[in-house]
Structure 1
Amino acid sequence: MSWDLSCPDWVDRLRNGKSLVPDLPQLDRAAADRAVTVFDRLRLADVPGTPLLRDAAGDWFRDIVRALFGSIDPATKQRMIREVFCLVPKKNSKTSYGALLMLVAILRNERPKARFIMTAPTQDITELAFGQVSGAIRLDVVLNQKFHIRDHLKTIVHRKSQATLEIMSFDPAVLTGQKPAGIFIDEVHVVSKMAKAANAIRQLRGGMIAAPESFMVMITTQSEEPPAGVFRAELAKARDIRDGKQDGAMLPVLYEFPPEMQADSESKPGAWRDPANWAMVTPNAGRSITIARLIEEYRTALATSPEELRAWASQHLNVEIGLALRSDAWAGAKHWEGRADRSLTLPALIARSEVITIGIDGGGLDDLLGLAVLGRERGARRWFLWCRAWAHRGVLDLRKSEAPKMLDLEADGDLVFVDDLTEANSELAEIVVEVEQSGLLAEIGLDMYGTTDARDALAQVGIEGDDRIVGIQQGWRLNGTIKTMETRLASATLIHGGQALMAWCVGNAKVVAVGNAISITKQASGTAKIDPLIAAFCAGALMVRNPQAKTKEVWAVAC
């Protein structure tokens, strides 16, 4: 029977500086205390005076050690807490404490020739981790006798059991197929950007089955971009277990503000900006970091730029980034999140509109095929936006850096992968027919180049001709539409469906000055995708002309 690892009162615990490890009545107290005793006797090799962890470490991490090593059932030898997912800001000694947790693991291990692995995305982090482990061993006479340190391999070997601890950079090719007794993955949000990272972690979980006492610890700060890939999936799982929405053997320890404190706008700054709240998510305050130092860094970031502040907040306060705003970001982006209405599905848009325009863009093998449906509200005349995109499956190999995010969008249902773009264009045409049958469709706007297949697909369903399909010039010629849509976002007269697809595209959009105009182009955005946003601009270019539905009587009768 699994343990209840939920922590429903986590916000109160954060406010009161209490442990985020829930009460665990089944814990083997003796084993837990022995592990903490070992942890406390280790020394920090890179701190003046090389203090014992007993004096230097924060209790927040000691509670993780206690839970992890006290969770083995004495009868079955099964570890009941098989995983830990810890979200903690920078400068809270997560790498140092994590490295020494793995030293505790090899010391408490009873399996001959067991293999323990600590891995991180960069060589600098692995150097720090190995330095902590090897330094702690060399500072202790007894540990020096127990272990052989192989510096050139970043490996330590327990002389008696022949168990090993290897500290290495994260490499899916190397990690796939391993059967570790324990693994520690540092900075999961960076690891998740690597190709095949999710597959490697899945393989590691499979390899753990052979040893009932095996464990996996993942520790990370927030991402400087919207969470994606395996980081997004593991974070969502940890939150669900913490909130009691899901059972599991993962212990969630998440130092993050509740959503209402993270919400931030020009009219109402987020509570995360108040230094009085920062201790909530800084468990090592007064040790490796101080609130006074954070205030200094905050003021520097605040004076630098909004995007620098957001990046700083994500790393030092675990504030989750919604849109990756930059100095060259589209002005409409800062209003985007506040204009979301997740009830605005395609059927809802049709039901609430008096006229609809459609925009289409993209469609190459390394592009998205973007469709935007833009409705004008009956009476109030607000604009409603809903989008969909398709991609050839080969784009996952062509654009490896974007693959984790695109797979997330597929799971959300906003992005559809196909093996043949003919299938994508056919599905697009089906949606256009659905809008056409409402009697509200005025015109369809397409990029004048590169959309031949979409035109052909529309012709096959009887939608063609210059009175229905309009070529939309791109680049600086969209300047007026871009400005109109950003001002409508600012005034809340453009509402969208809150789709993750569009949040991603809006965050990717880069503005380029062209004389007195601005341009948002795929070339400026590089490998980041914006095709559905360009499709929205195409639809907007038609809507600004105040179109009328081809058969207005249809919705008039329906009402």
Structure 2
Amino acid sequence: MLAIEAPPRFACPDWWERIQAGQTPMADVPVNQDKAAKALAFFNRLKLPDVPGNPPLAQACGEWFREILVAFLASEDPATKQRLVWELLCMVPKKNSKTTYVAALGLTALFMEEAPNRQMLIVAPSQNISERCFDQAQGMIRLDTRLDAIFKVQDHLKCITRHKTGTKLDVKTFDTSIVTGEIPILTIIDELHELGKKPKAAAVMQQIRGGGITMQGGQVLMITTQSDEQPAGIWKTELDKARRIRDGKGGRSPILLPVLYEFPADLQRDQGYWRDRRHWKYLLPNIGRSISPQRLIDDYENNGSATKEAEQIWASQHLNIEIGVGLAGDGWRGAEYWDLRADETLTLESLVERSEVAVVGADGGGLDDLFGVCVIGREKVTRRWLVWTHAFAHPKVLEVRKEIAPRLLDFEAEGSLAFCEVSQYIERIAAIAAQVRDAGLLPEKNAVGFDPNNIAAFVDALALKKIEGLMLHRLRQGPALSPALWGLEHKLSDDTISHDGSDMMRWSVGNVKIEVKGNGNMATKQAAGRTKIDPVIAMLCAAILMSWNPEASPEGNMGDYFKSLAGAA
């Protein structure tokens, strides 16, 4: 009989079935029973300071969080007796008492720690959240005279010290200098998704994690709702990692335990499913405790469903629906189908090999904008459109648009965006057009389309590549691009187009807002500065040219192109 290989550590392939059954979506973790009992005994006696009657957590806390507490504080390898869970990421919708519970967990960890003079941190993204977390912790202490004898509370410092050991639990608001001196042995991060908007959050996280490689070790617990924007920065990194581990794709021995309350991706895209309030209970482990089912419904009907934008934000916060391109609202209708047409194997080189003709679109703005380039090829035989996009940016954009800097750095890591000087990226875009021309794919007329404003340097760079004259087409912008918007909507909906599936383009497509101008539609940005759509405009320019049914120039030399590729190899 063949032995069945054990799944990787912390993999939880039945996570959705567990959620539907009202169970915690978490892998089973072996624990030290004595430590677990001690942790639960202390945690359960803590009382809620802001609830009438001050009920103890033994009554007021959902079982889901007790399971998290035990796994995090008492995990142990049965053979080596070493801790297994060094990090834990819990994503749970708002109003499930996250801040109160992590305050109680912090006190429990402080009570459990016997090493002297250590440092523990609870980190919140804003002063309001950090103050609430501290108020909950000190309130729990002052409700129990026995705890007053165990802990010293310093309100002005937001610091709680255990008298016996001198170990401190500090509650702090996030900033880049938050970790100074000793590396904390425990860090709890509340609302991690907010740190995804901070440019240097990854560096701070790396410093916090430095405690994990010391002899005493350092634990990190992250608890958060989903972001009210498309995940970016450190939040995207941690969420992607947690999902890989949960799905058994994070290596054999990860140290992070994922606990993610979310619908499967296909159900997140199914608006009919998640709008059905019968399904909301699956993601709300504290429903009936801190969440009133009727008040939740009333809030959705009166506030959450007021507009498409309001619904998108409400769904991200109360149902952990990941914002991207799932809800169109006043966005572009083609966005609803964008993810479905992704082909991550599509590169510029494979597009060239598969196409009988190709055109190039380009669009850019100032130093705080992106410069987008798009190549659309028409596939041989099938005539399917193949879309490849890339973006360039001046390094200055990271300073001018700090709010999107983490996202842009993600795209650089992905390979879909490059930072360089203007002269460099103008030259590189011209080289892309020349690459397509040398492959014999550019038509004799209307081969490269672009916004005519502030484009002189780009036209000069193309001329140096001998792409000029009738090959260039200056395209009017605004409502004049309506045919491309409508045409791409149809091709996306009827599955006659593929794109390279980059996160950069997914973000850009999700940023598009449609405004009706006269008899046409105009693509604009959702918010000035915070979002960019230049790569989408480049795609629309290329789509206009491809819609004219071009034929490749008979003068193209495909043989020279493949010789050049062989030489480069």
What TM-score do the two structures reach when normalised by structure 1? 0.90
1:497 aligned onto 2:503? no
Q: Distance in 1 between matches of 2:301 and 2:340?
A: 26
Q: Distance in 2 between matches of 1:103 and 1:97?
A: 10
- Give the counterpart letter for 1:367 in structure 2: D
Q: Distance in 1 between matches of 2:380 and 2:528?
A: 35
Match of 1:424 in 2: 425
Match of 1:263 in 2: 269
Q: CA deviation at 1:382?
A: 4.4
Match of 1:475 in 2: 478
Q: CA deviation at 1:544?
A: 3.2
Deviates more, 1:368-377 or 1:81-90: 368-377
Q: CA deviation at 1:484?
A: 3.5
**How do 1:315-326 residues align onto structure 2 when only pairs under 5 Å count?**
315-323=317-325
Q: CA deviation at 1:98?
A: 0.5
Deviates more, 1:34-43 or 1:365-374: 365-374
1:102 aligned onto 2:103? no
Match of residue 547, structure 2, among 544, 549, 553: 544
Match of residue 16, structure 2, among 11, 17, 20: 11
Label 1:382 to 1:8 Cα distance change in 2 as closer, same or farther (>3 A): closer
1:372 aligned onto 2:374? yes
Match of 2:566 in 1: none
Q: CA deviation at 1:312?
A: 1.6
Q: Distance in 1 between matches of 2:354 and 2:302?
A: 47
Label 1:116 to 1:318 Cα distance change in 2 as closer, same or farther (>3 A): same
Match of 1:43 in 2: 47
Deviates more, 1:212-221 or 1:351-360: 351-360
Q: Distance in 1 between matches of 2:307 and 2:541?
A: 31
1:125 aligned onto 2:129? yes
Instruction: Tell me, yes or no, if the aligned pair for 1:78 and 1:213 is still in contact at 8 Å.
Output: no
Q: Distance in 2 between matches of 1:388 and 1:254?
A: 32
Instruction: Tell me, yes or no, if the aligned pair for 1:192 and 1:230 is still in contact at 8 Å.
Output: yes
Match of 1:214 in 2: 218
Q: Distance in 2 between matches of 1:515 and 1:276?
A: 42
Per-residue deviation, residues 292-338 of structure 1 (Å, max 9, x unmatched): 43333333456412332222221111122222857542343334333
Q: Distance in 2 between matches of 1:524 and 1:57?
A: 40
Match of 1:114 in 2: 118
Label 1:200 to 1:305 Cα distance change in 2 as closer, same or farther (>3 A): same
Label 1:16 to 1:522 Cα distance change in 2 as closer, same or farther (>3 A): closer
Other structure's SS at 1:361 match: strand
Q: Distance in 2 between matches of 1:513 and 1:254?
A: 40
Q: Distance in 1 between matches of 2:129 and 2:525?
A: 35
Match of 2:4 in 1: none
Q: CA deviation at 1:228?
A: 1.0
Per-residue deviation, residues 140-197 of structure 1 (Å, max 9, x unmatched): 0111122222112222222232221111211122236651121110111112211201
Per-residue deviation, residues 21-59 of structure 1 (Å, max 9, x unmatched): 32233x211111111111001011111110010111011
Instruction: Tell me, yes or no, if the aligned pair for 2:326 and 2:336 is still in contact at 8 Å.
Output: no
Q: Distance in 2 between matches of 1:330 and 1:177?
A: 50
Q: Which runs of 5+ in 1 are unaligned?
A: none
Match of residue 33, structure 1, among 37, 62, 73: 37
Deviates more, 1:316-325 or 1:366-375: 316-325
Match of residue 359, structure 2, among 329, 337, 357: 357
Q: Distance in 2 between matches of 1:505 and 1:202?
A: 29
Other structure's SS at 2:470 match: coil
Instruction: Tell me, yes or no, if the aligned pair for 1:332 and 1:489 is still in contact at 8 Å.
Output: yes
Q: Distance in 2 between matches of 1:173 and 1:461?
A: 49
Q: Distance in 2 between matches of 1:304 and 1:547?
A: 45
Deviates more, 1:149-158 or 1:100-109: 149-158
Match of residue 448, structure 1, among 449, 452, 462: 452
Q: Distance in 2 between matches of 1:272 and 1:383?
A: 32
Identity %: 45
Label 1:23 to 1:303 Cα distance change in 2 as closer, same or farther (>3 A): closer
Match of residue 180, structure 1, among 168, 178, 184: 184
- Give the counterpart letter for 1:6 in structure 2: A
Instruction: Tell me, yes or no, if the aligned pair for 2:511 and 2:525 is still in contact at 8 Å.
Output: no
Label 1:523 to 1:452 Cα distance change in 2 as closer, same or farther (>3 A): farther
Q: CA deviation at 1:416?
A: 1.9
Instruction: Tell me, yes or no, if the aligned pair for 2:89 and 2:259 is still in contact at 8 Å.
Output: yes
Match of 2:312 in 1: 310
Match of 2:198 in 1: 194
Q: CA deviation at 1:369?
A: 2.0
Match of 2:440 in 1: 439
Q: Distance in 2 between matches of 1:306 and 1:332?
A: 16
Instruction: Tell me, yes or no, if the aligned pair for 2:335 and 2:510 is still in contact at 8 Å.
Output: yes
Report the aligned-residue RMSD.
Answer: 2.8
**How do 1:395-406 residues align onto structure 2 when only pairs under 5 Å count?**
395-406=397-408
Instruction: Tell me, yes or no, if the aligned pair for 1:502 and 1:532 is still in contact at 8 Å.
Output: yes
Other structure's SS at 1:283 match: coil
Label 1:39 to 1:175 Cα distance change in 2 as closer, same or farther (>3 A): same
Q: Which runs of 5+ in 2 are unaligned?
A: 1-7, 562-569
- Give the counterpart letter for 1:199 in structure 2: A
Instruction: Tell me, yes or no, if the aligned pair for 2:328 and 2:335 is still in contact at 8 Å.
Output: no
Match of 1:283 in 2: 285
Q: CA deviation at 1:87?
A: 0.8
Match of 2:535 in 1: 532
Instruction: Tell me, yes or no, if the aligned pair for 1:44 and 1:53 is still in contact at 8 Å.
Output: yes
- Give the counterpart letter for 1:392 in structure 2: H
Deviates more, 1:16-25 or 1:110-119: 16-25
Per-residue deviation, residues 83-109 of structure 1 (Å, max 9, x unmatched): 111111111111110011000111111
Deviates more, 1:361-370 or 1:29-38: 361-370
Aligned length: 549
**How do 1:382-421 residues align onto structure 2 when only pairs under 5 Å count?**
382-418=384-420, 420-421=421-422
Q: Distance in 1 between matches of 2:148 and 2:556?
A: 87
Other structure's SS at 1:456 match: helix
Q: CA deviation at 1:377?
A: 4.2
Other structure's SS at 1:445 match: strand
**How do 1:125-144 residues align onto structure 2 when only pairs under 5 Å count?**
125-144=129-148
Instruction: Tell me, yes or no, if the aligned pair for 1:341 and 1:496 is still in contact at 8 Å.
Output: yes
- Give the counterpart letter for 1:14 in structure 2: I
Q: Distance in 2 between matches of 1:461 and 1:307?
A: 45
Q: CA deviation at 1:428?
A: 2.3
Other structure's SS at 2:461 match: helix
Match of 2:260 in 1: 254
What TM-score do the two structures reach when normalised by structure 2? 0.89
Q: Distance in 2 between matches of 1:470 and 1:21?
A: 56
Per-residue deviation, residues 116-155 of structure 1 (Å, max 9, x unmatched): 1111112221122111101110000111122222112222
Instruction: Tell me, yes or no, if the aligned pair for 2:512 and 2:526 is still in contact at 8 Å.
Output: no
- Give the counterpart letter for 1:362 in structure 2: G
Instruction: Tell me, yes or no, if the aligned pair for 2:438 and 2:557 is still in contact at 8 Å.
Output: no
Instruction: Tell me, yes or no, if the aligned pair for 1:509 and 1:525 is still in contact at 8 Å.
Output: no
Label 1:524 to 1:540 Cα distance change in 2 as closer, same or farther (>3 A): farther
Instruction: Tell me, yes or no, if the aligned pair for 1:512 and 1:524 is still in contact at 8 Å.
Output: no
Match of 2:154 in 1: 150
Instruction: Tell me, yes or no, if the aligned pair for 1:177 and 1:203 is still in contact at 8 Å.
Output: no
Instruction: Tell me, yes or no, if the aligned pair for 2:100 and 2:136 is still in contact at 8 Å.
Output: yes
Match of 2:173 in 1: 169
- Give the counterpart letter for 1:426 in structure 2: E
Match of 1:507 in 2: 510
Other structure's SS at 2:473 match: strand
Match of 2:565 in 1: none
